[in-house]
Amino acid sequence: MKILGPGGTAVVDGALAGEIRRRCGENVYLCVQCRTCAAGCPTRAFMDGSPAELLRYAQLGLADSCLQGNTIWYCASCQTCTTRCPQGIDIARAIDALRILAQERTDLEVDTRGQRTLNRLWMTMLKYTGRAYELGLVGLLNLLTGRPFKDFGLGMQMILRGKIALFPSVRRPLTMMRLFKNAQEPPP
Amino acid sequence: MKMGYYPGCSLHSTGIEYGLSLARVAEALGLELEEVRRWVCCGSSPAHQSDETLSIALPALNLAILREENQLDEVCVPCASCFSRLKFAQARMEDEAVRKRIERILERPWPAGVRVLHALEVVTQRIGRDAVRARVKRPLKGLKVACYYGCLMTRPPKVTGQADPENPLAMESVMETIGAEPADWNLKTACCGASFALTDPAVVLELTRRILEDAAAAGAEVVAVGCPLCHANLDTRQEGINERFGTSFRMPVFYFTELMGLAFGLDAADLGLPRHLTDAEGFLRERGLL
């Protein structure tokens, strides 16, 4: 553990907390570990840890413990923890910052539950076409995650009822490409 | 009354009934909805999970288009996820440094003061119960409805402006106005797991099973929703839920606009009802409501 240094003195590494603060303005040191977030989290049962544990790891600077498990990827962004936190921490926003950090770390083996692949596909699609094209997204996602027939029957039923657009629609592609390029420039 | 309309990607696809029924109901209520010109996707969850800047810039672009090209200052947003992203962008843009950066990225000025309203808010706050009541031709007498809000119509309240995010009652008031009977239940603001619909359906099956179970336990016959992602999860996954958990759900899931349209005496096919995966029309006929 990184927490105990030589002679049993506590070593707390503030780098991760600082990074979260810089990226989204949230102060993880406000967390008093009351676990209201964990108690109300609808996807807690699927997570390796819990939102409260993420905040504790972040307070202690244990970046790998925060980023490595599936916990951040099972956050549904339902905003329950953010709404109920008695310390007013926007926990869902802090978890978004952690997910962005995890996606930037190429040295870490992270279990993103396919979300990283979906995020990349979706954002690339937006950059060139301006809109999400569900059939293309699902098809590519299933191929890239090795489950080509996931929800195949369900998809067919929806297509038969005219609930899935068969062709992509393209809107403002030049504006979108320019917007994505502009967004990559670092803030002054 | 005229306002902008931001359907979002889902209403052209999985949530097509929502768009159809909203258009009919708006027409009946004398509300003119003008689509945001050549709108683009709000970025949804993939944007806020992967790029904070784009998660603000994409909704901001749509609001800038609304002001500049439609020359409107009010927009009706039926999808709870789009609604959330537009409202989040407005909240973030209150920070001057963020606003300047996003304006540079958009190469357009930020339209301060645009009113972003969820479709349910348009009905309750801009149209009002009296105008709705005046259109009712076939009240949905005795229909027991579980009003389901999910996450983003109400949370987080700092962003949505909801007075009671744990127990919202706006949809109940609309249901009462059209003659239905709202159920008193526990999971109206629980999460259906929409962000896992494409990546991890097991999460969706578990969360939606809990929601349907609680609605049934409270005596509800149908669920009413105001979000295409909630509808997709609750309506299309019942067969999967029954297979996995040995349950026997056959609970119709309606958009609140579909139920309004039915009460207005509009045609069920025009409202999109034949497109549901969990049979809605058969149920309504059995109940003598169609």
User: What's the pLDDT tens digit per position in A32-81?
Assistant: 999 999 999 999 999 999 999 999 999 999 999 999 889 999 999 999 99
Residues A97 and A127 grouped into a single domain: no
- Is A111 or A89 the better-scoring residue by pLDDT? A89
What domain count does chain A have? 2
Q: What is the mean pLDDT of chain A?
A: 92
**Cβ separation B52–A23 shorter than 8 A:** yes
pLDDT in tens, B100-140: 999 999 999 999 999 999 999 999 999 999 999 999 999 99
Is the pLDDT at A108 greater than 90? The verdict is: no
- Per-residue pLDDT, A107: 86
Q: Is B157 on the interface with A (CB under 8 A)?
A: yes
- Which positions in chain B touch A131 (Cβ < 8 Å)? 9, 40-41
**Domain span at A59:** 6-104
Of the listed ranges A3-7, A28-32, A152-156, B92-96, the least confidently predicted one is A3-7
- Per-residue pLDDT, A132: 95
Which residues 47-66 of chain A have a CB within 8 Å of chain B? none
Q: What is the mean pLDDT of residues B30-47?
A: 97
Question: How far from A68 is each of A91, A103, B33, B168, CA to CA, in Å?
Answer: 18, 11, 46, 37
Q: What is the mean pLDDT of residues A114-125?
A: 94
Number of helices followed by number of strands (H, E) in chain A: 10, 0
- Per-residue pLDDT, B195: 93
Residues A125 and A99 grouped into a single domain: no
**Cβ separation A163–B61 shorter than 8 A:** no
- Which positions in chain B touch A43 (Cβ < 8 Å)? 191, 193, 203, 207
Q: What is the mean pLDDT of residues A132-153?
A: 90
Is the pLDDT at A151 greater than 70? The verdict is: yes
CB contact burial B204-214 (16+ within 10 A = b; e otherwise):
bbbbbbbbbeb
In order of their start, the domains of chain B are 2-119 (1.20.1050.140), 137-286 (3.40.50.11810)
Query: Which site among B11, B12, B13 would you substitute to test the A interface, given the most A Cβ atoms closer than 10 Å to its Cβ?
Result: B13
Residues A100 and A10 grouped into a single domain: yes
CA distance A62 to A45: 22
CA distance B140 to B175: 9
Count contacts between A and B (CB, < 8 Å): 159
Is the pLDDT at A2 greater than 60? The verdict is: no
- Per-residue pLDDT, A15: 93
Cis peptide bond upstream of A186, omega within 30:
no
pLDDT in tens, B170-219: 999 999 999 999 999 999 999 999 999 999 999 999 999 999 999 999 99
Instruction: Compute the Cα dihedral for B260, B145, B143, A162 and give only its sign.
Output: positive
Residues A145 and A170 grouped into a single domain: yes
With tokens 């301060």, the residue in question is B112
**Cβ separation B156–A79 shorter than 8 A:** yes
Residue B148: which region, alpha, beta or left (left: phi > 0; alpha: psi -120 to 50)? beta
- Per-residue pLDDT, B204: 97
pLDDT in tens, B91-106: 999 999 999 999 999 9
Which pLDDT band holds residue A4 (cuts at 50, 70, 90)?
Answer: low
Q: What is the mean pLDDT of residues B32-39?
A: 98
Question: How far from A67 is each of A100, A103, B199, CA to CA, in Å?
Answer: 10, 9, 19
Which pLDDT band holds residue A111 (cuts at 50, 70, 90)?
Answer: confident
**Phi, psi dihedral angles at B145 (to 5 degrees):** -115, 130
Which residue in chain B is spatially nearest to A136 when comparing CA positions? B198
B145 touches B183 (CB < 8 A): yes
Q: What is the mean pLDDT of residues A139-146?
A: 91
- Residue A137 falls inside a structural domain: yes
**Phi, psi dihedral angles at A96 (to 5 degrees):** -60, -45
Which pLDDT band holds residue A1 (cuts at 50, 70, 90)?
Answer: very low
Residues A97 and A120 grouped into a single domain: no
Residues A150 and A98 grouped into a single domain: no
Q: Is A19 on the interface with B (CB under 8 A)?
A: no
Is the pLDDT at A173 greater than 90? The verdict is: yes
- Residue A84 falls inside a structural domain: yes
pLDDT in tens, B40-93: 999 999 999 999 999 999 999 999 999 999 999 999 999 999 999 999 999 999
For the purposes of burial, counting CB atoms within 10 Å of the CB of A125, is it exposed (0-12), middle (13-18) or buried (19 or more)? buried
Residues A39 and A100 grouped into a single domain: yes
Nearest Cα of chain B lies from the Cα of A8 at a distance, in angstroms, of 38
Query: Which site among B16, B37, B40 would you substitute to test the A interface, given the most A Cβ atoms closer than 10 Å to its Cβ?
Result: B40
Nearest CB to B236; choose among A99, A158, A183: A158
CA distance B126 to B284: 29
Nearest CB to B106; choose among A23, A96, A179: A179
pTM here is 0.95
**Cβ separation A114–B200 shorter than 8 A:** yes
Residues A23 and A96 grouped into a single domain: yes
Residues A94 and A155 grouped into a single domain: no
Given A104, A128, A160, the domain boundary residue is: A104
- Which positions in chain A touch B48 (Cβ < 8 Å)? 77, 96
Given A78, A104, A130, the domain boundary residue is: A104
- Per-residue pLDDT, A74: 96
Nearest to B226 by CA among B161, B159, B179, B170: B170
Question: How far from B118 is each of B84, B153, B171, B177, CA to CA, in Å?
Answer: 9, 7, 12, 19
Which pLDDT band holds residue A112 (cuts at 50, 70, 90)?
Answer: confident
Q: Is B91 on the interface with A (CB under 8 A)?
A: no
Query: What ipTM goes with this model?
Result: 0.95
CA distance A84 to A94: 15
Q: Is B250 on the interface with A (CB under 8 A)?
A: no
Which residue in chain B is spatially nearest to A101 when comparing CA positions? B50
- Residue A1 falls inside a structural domain: no
Nearest CB to B155; choose among A83, A138, A180: A83
**Cβ separation A79–B151 shorter than 8 A:** yes
CA distance B266 to B28: 9
- Per-residue pLDDT, A3: 60
Given A104, A132, A156, the domain boundary residue is: A104
- Per-residue pLDDT, A165: 87
- Residue A34 falls inside a structural domain: yes
- Per-residue pLDDT, A58: 96
- Residue A126 falls inside a structural domain: yes
